[in-house]
Amino acid sequence: MKENINALKNRFKALYPSAGEPRVFGGPGRINVIGGHTDYNLGFVLPCAVDREILVAASVRQDDILSLYSVDYKQPFEIKLGSLKFSENQKWANYLMGVFSVLLEDGFHLKGMNMVFGGNIPQGGGMSSSAALEVAVCTAIRAMQGVKLSDIELVKYCQKAENKFVGVMCGIMDQFASAMSKKGHLLFLDCADLSYELIPMKFEDISFFIADTKKERTLAGSEYNLRRQQCTQAAEIFRKLDPKVRGLRDVSIEVFEKNKGKVPLPARKRAEHVIYEIDRVKKAAEALKSNDLEAIGRIQRESFRSMRDIFEISCPEINAMADISDSVEGVYGTRIIGGGFGGCTISMVRNSAIKELEDKLAQEYPKRTGLTPEFWVVNSADGAGEVF
Of the CA atoms within 13 Å of residue 22, those in its CB half-sphere come to 29
The reported pLDDT for the residue numbered 343 is: 85
Q: Which string of DSSP letters, residue by residue, matches 134-146?
A: HHHHHHHHHHHH-
**Residue 27 belongs to domain with CATH number:** 3.30.230.10
Q: Are residues 317 and 354 in the same domain?
A: yes
Residues 167, 34 share a domain: yes
pLDDT classification of 16: cutoffs 50, 70, 90:
very high
CATH number at residue 257: 3.30.70.890
Verify whether residue 174 is a known catalytic residue: yes
When divided into structural domains, the chain yields a total of 2
Identify whether residues 307 and 232 lie together within a single domain. Answer: yes
What pLDDT digit, counting tens, does each position of 247-259 carry? 999 999 999 999 9
Q: CA-CA distances (angstroms) from residue 370 to 314, 317, 356?
A: 17, 9, 21
Same domain membership, residue 295 and residue 180: no
pLDDT value for 219: 53
Q: Residue 235: how many CB atoms within 10 A of its CB? A: 23
What is the share, in percent, of the chain residues with pLDDT greater than 90? Answer: 88
Q: Check if the beta carbon of residue 57 is closer than 8 Å to that of residue 117.
A: yes
Mean pLDDT to the nearest integer, 19-25: 96
Which residues make Cβ contacts (< 8 Å) with residue 20, sequence separation at least 6? 59
Mean pLDDT of the chain: 94
**Angle CA 120–125–128, to nearest 5:** 70
Question: Quick one: 252 and 169 in the same domain?
Answer: no
Distances in Å between the Cα of 156 and the Cα atoms of 118, 147, 299, 370 are 23, 14, 29, 40
| Same-domain pairing of 311 and 355 | yes
Could you list the residue range(s) of the whole structural domain that residue 120 is in? 2-200+382-387
Domain co-membership, 168 together with 98: yes
pLDDT average, residue stretch 287-300: 96
Asked if residue 17 has a cis previous peptide bond (ω within 30° of 0), the answer is no
Res. 125 pLDDT band, cuts 50 70 90 = low
Judgement on whether residues 216 and 267 belong to the same structural domain of the protein: yes
Looking at residue 218, its pLDDT comes to 58
Same-domain status, 169 and 236:
no
Residues 66 and 191 in one domain: yes
Per-residue confidence (pLDDT) for residue 168, from 0 to 100: 85
Return contacts of 280-283, CB within 8 angstroms, 24+ apart: 280/34, 280/35, 281/34, 281/35, 281/38, 281/43, 281/44, 281/45, 281/46, 281/188, 282/44
Residue 388: predicted pLDDT: 80
Catalytic annotation, pick one of 63, 64, 106, 174: 174
- pLDDT for the residue numbered 220: 44
Q: Examine the domain organization and report whether 196 and 211 are in the same domain.
A: no
Mean pLDDT of 105-128: 89
Q: Are 262 and 304 found together in one domain?
A: yes
